Structure 1
Amino acid sequence: MKTVKQTMLVVLGLLFFALQGCTHDDYIPVPGQDGADGAPGVSGTASCESCHSVEHKKPIIDAYNLSAHGIGVGGTKHIYGTNTTYADGSLNSNRAFCSECHSQEGYIDVKKYGKANPRGYDNFNSINCEGCHGVTHRSFNFTKDGNDYGLRNIAAVPQKINPTFFLNASPTGGVSSANTCIGCHQARPDSNGYYKRPVFEMNEKDASGNVVITGSGSTQFYRFWSQRKFADAVGPYPAGTTYYKNYSNTGTGVHASEQGDLWMGINGIDIEGTTTRLPAAKTAKHYTNSSCVQCHMDKPKAGTVDNGSHTMKLSFQTCVSCHPAPETLLTTFHAKFDTEVEKLKSALLAKSNYFIPDSRGAVSIKAFDSTTNLPFPTSPASGTTTATVWYQSRTDFPLKYVQAYWNYKLVIGDEGKGVHNPPYTMALIQNSIEALK
């Protein structure tokens, strides 16, 4: 057996060396005609390049730099992203909540993890391209599935004043690019969770756990309060043991920029005892037949660069499909809106025990202690170590007055002056005027 193996190895060795000497110099190819070229294929990145190219992105970036999102409110970036951490480890939690919409970092974390960092962010920026976009496309078959533009959120979003309920910009209950918008453009409470919608269902309580709305029927009341106490716990940080913070609901009213609520016809209050009823939610033509993107990211007018696209400013190109002269119609409607809002302001200010004009020409709540008849104190300020704890509550407001004020704040907080849902807006104003008679 050993001899056989040795013989096989010798044969294999000789064969290896023999093959090393083989050449193909004597090979002569058979001449023939060239074959026909195949049909040209489609570039594998062609559909991507329609968006992901400098040529496409440059005009979008220029447009965004003209938008209110790009330049900020009043030319300021209006960015909030951090919290004050007190020496005892507790937080003055007044900016982490704001960062959800007022910073790139907070907005992205909410979309990724469902909430912003309660500590806030040491470095924070205004929202830019990668705030709204930046994730992998859900599908690359744009022809079949549509282009989602890599938006971070196209599904229903939590309602900020009631996070167990979800808002959906899609009339069919599916997904919608407008859900990117209404994630922030909706009514929301203050950073401590106060400023609730003033209805019984919200079960609003003050900082000590006492209910704010009392009574029944025509004798329902709403209590405004201010309280100074140890800073609350904001997980994972402990409650204050040394530092104090001021809490109150004395500015009750929705935060500005609630365009989504009016567009969908939600969150206004149909005040009991009035005759004007509010249209049903999600029935407005602007909701069923249009969307945020269709109107605010339309094609710019020919020869212009300061409207449409990512400026978010109306170019009226879509509007003409329903309105022959949309710009004239808008001017007329805004004039009507201003007139009706002035009537509501007058009705509120006529209740001088409850409302006062403010320095901006709007209406504010007249918040004062019912015992001393003095305004709620603003000092000592939040974050001091003074042991003095004050709690003040004022004479209760009739609930329907507070609800009228909520409706007032809802309509004036929309810079569109009611155009997102004209029937709903006008009904809210009239309903509130009736409640104040």
Structure 2
Amino acid sequence: MKRKQFKTWLLLLSVAAIFAACEGPAGIAGLNGENGANGTDGVDGTDGNATCLACHSGETKANIDAQFSMSVHSSGINAVDYAGGRASCAACHSHQGFVQFANTGEVLGNITNPTAWECATCHGLHETMEATDYALRLKEPINPIFDKTVTMDLKGNSNLCANCHQSRRGEPALTNPGEDTFNISSSHWGPHHGAQANVVAGIGFAEIAGSVEYPTAGEAKHLNQASCTGCHMAEFDTEEGEGGHSWKPSLLACNTCHDASNTDFNYGGVRTDVGAKLEVLRDELVRLGVVGYAEEEIYELNEETGIIELVTLPGEYHVNPGVYPTVQARAFFNYVGLDEDRSLGAHNPKYVKALLQNTIEAVEAEPTPAP
């Protein structure tokens, strides 16, 4: 009997000890002792889903999807069908290729069933879960394809764009230094379509000596104050359908930055001036035989007369493969690269104007080839 009583008291003491651990400093004087003082309240943390819902809420996600549907990136019409499956091109021309490249630094082989870009192409897993963590797969400065010895930094999130929107080739004086002639080996030779990062950063084109001094690389206003995301991903303008995930440049952002009220992107007449200079350079390259112009003739039914007629369609300018003086090949590199940048100088006005003026001066001094 005494042993049972001892066990009962031991059990009660254990329970009392448990309650004592949960009480304040006063503890328990006995089984009926006073409650201890309340502990200090902790600081409420941020709701676990607050940051997530900023992007992943139903309404926000639906708006992003709607904006993305306005971009050519969503259809892939300009890239996927042609090059999305080829290992040498897939890193930028398909969703699967870009993810492989981001994860491994290369594309491991041809893509059997390439698809267009989607949310998960650019966005992977979050790292910090903070509001500024957009889980971009690539956001560090890059060593560009055309020259691995240099670093191209488009500032923060814009570096993601630079991985694809860069020159695939170096200009002739970089790849063939000291040579007087250069072989333009194919109709596709040049920086490759869309080397916008080169233009914004102010590097990678053929900086031919001339009357205009080249600005220091990395000092462009659009590189340091706006860059890719500042102009192309500004707050979405519902009236104009610009900005956000449409990636269409925002005129509202342009006017806000420049404190202007323009109705187009021709701020200060830059695009008019650059467009005119591109035509002058093109015509000089036509004179030298580097660039040609071809019209296409097809037979087409005249619906009014019911007669099939020979119709001449508008032609296109194209490079004529061949061996040319190096300065002429460098001039074509600048022409096609700036033409396919498609901003008509807006991405980096001072750099583009210097390139064009100096290049025009160089080709104007070249003699017309004998017939």
TM-score range, shorter chain: 0.7 to 0.9
Residue 330 of structure 2 aligns to a residue whose secondary structure is helix
Could you say what secondary structure the match of 2:181 adopts?
strand
Provide the residue aligned with 1:208 in structure 2.
none
- Give the number of the structure whose residues are more often helix, by fraction: 2
Number of equivalent positions: 323
Mapped to 1, the partners of 2:2 and 2:114 lie a distance apart of 76
Identity of aligned residues (%): 26
Q: What SS does the corresponding residue of 2:151 show, helix, strand or coil?
A: strand
Does residue 112 of structure 2 align to residue 130 of structure 1? no
**CA offsets, 1:62-102, max 9 Å, x none?**
1011112113346x7546333xxxxxxxxxxxx21210101
In structure 1, the residue matched to 2:168 is: 188
Query: Which digits, 9 at most, give the CA deviation of each residue in 1:183-222, with x for residues without a partner?
Result: 1111114xxxxxx4211x424xxxxxxxxx664xxxx111
Summarize the alignment of residues 96-115 of structure 1 with structure 2, pairs less than 5 Å apart: 96-115=87-106
Equivalent of residue 201 in structure 2, options 233, 242, 264: 264
Deviation at 1:412, TM superposition (A): 0.3
Paired residues of 1:79 and 1:125 also in contact (CA < 8 A) = no
Confirm or deny that 1:178 pairs with 2:158: yes
* SS class of match (1:131): helix
Structure 1: runs of 5 or more not aligned: 1-9, 21-28, 83-94, 171-175, 190-195, 204-212, 225-247, 368-393
Corresponding position of 1:372: none
Q: Distance in 1 between matches of 2:114 and 2:149?
A: 28
TM-superposed deviation, 1:363: 3.6
**What secondary structure does 2:150 align onto?**
strand
SS, match of residue 207 in structure 2: coil
Equivalent position of 1:403 in the other structure: 330
2:20 — aligned with what?
none
Q: 1:314 to 1:365 in 2, by over 3 A?
A: closer
Cα separation, 2, equivalents of 1:104 and 1:362: 31
Aligned to 1:159: 144
Aligned mate of 2:245, from 275, 288, 310: 310
Alpha carbons of structure 1 residues 19 and 286: separation in structure 2 relative to 1, 3 Å: closer
8 A Cα contact 2:208 2:355, kept in partner: no
Divergent runs of 4+, >6 A = 10-20
CA distance change for structure 1 residues 329 and 304 in 2, over 3 Å: closer, same or farther? closer
Aligned-CA RMSD value: 3.3
More displaced 10-residue stretch of structure 1: 161-170 or 255-264: 161-170
For 2:100, the aligned partner's letter is D
Question: Paired residue for 2:368?
Answer: none
The equivalent of 1:240 in structure 2 is none
5+ long unaligned stretches in structure 2: 12-31, 296-313, 365-371
Task: Give the AA of the match of 1:180.
Answer: L
Q: Is the 8 A contact 1:300 1:308 kept in 2?
A: yes
Aligned to 1:193: none
| Contact 1:214 1:221 survives alignment (8 Å) | no
Amino acid at match of 2:278: V
CA apart distance, 1:276? 2.9
SS state at 2:51 partner: helix
How many angstroms does 1:358 deviate by? Answer: 4.2
Matched residue SS, 1:280: coil
What is the distance in 1 between the residues matched to 2:64 and 2:213?
43
| Residue 69 (structure 1) aligns with | 73
Distance 1:41 1:151, change over 3 A: closer
Structure 2 CA distance, aligned partners of 1:325 and 1:417?
Answer: 20
Q: Is 1:346 aligned with 2:273?
A: no
TM-score norm. by structure 2 comes to: 0.76
Query: SS state of the match for residue 223, structure 1?
Result: strand
**CA 1:358–1:428: 2 relative to 1, 3 Å:** farther
Do structure 1's residue 365 and structure 2's residue 319 form an aligned pair? yes
Cα distance in 1 between the residues matched to 2:331 and 2:341 = 16
